[in-house]
Amino acid sequence: MDDVKKYSERSHITVSVPRDIIDEVKKLIKNKEVKGYRNHSEFVIEAVRMRVEEIEKKEIKKMMEEFKEHIQKVKP
């Protein structure tokens, strides 16, 4: 058990992605249609990061709008 980290201690996990999507990503990388990626894993990692950032930005924007509405309601 010493050699095997518990799931919660691992720094990486495996995620299943449909083969057709990965094949398309590999094709884009191979044909140099996208630059800056050595392999499909790098592309997927960045895609996930970008999506998380997009969701976080939407949440922040929503919170700011709610705050502005609140301020307008309590203004004398």
pLDDT digits (tens, 9 = 90+) for 51-66: 999 999 999 999 999 9
| CA angle 30–33–35, rounded 5-degree value | 85
> Is 34 in contact with 43 (CB distance < 8 Å)?
yes
pLDDT over 90 at 7, yes or no: no
Q: How confident is the model at residue 9 (pLDDT cuts 50, 70, 90)?
A: confident
Q: Is 26 exposed, middle or buried (0-12, 13-18, 19+ CB in 10 A)?
A: middle
Whether pLDDT at 3 is above 70: no
Return the percentage of the chain with pLDDT > 70, whole number: 88
Token digits of residue 31: 């044909």
Closest by CA to 15, choosing from 40, 50, 38, is 40
- Give the mean pLDDT of 44-49: 96
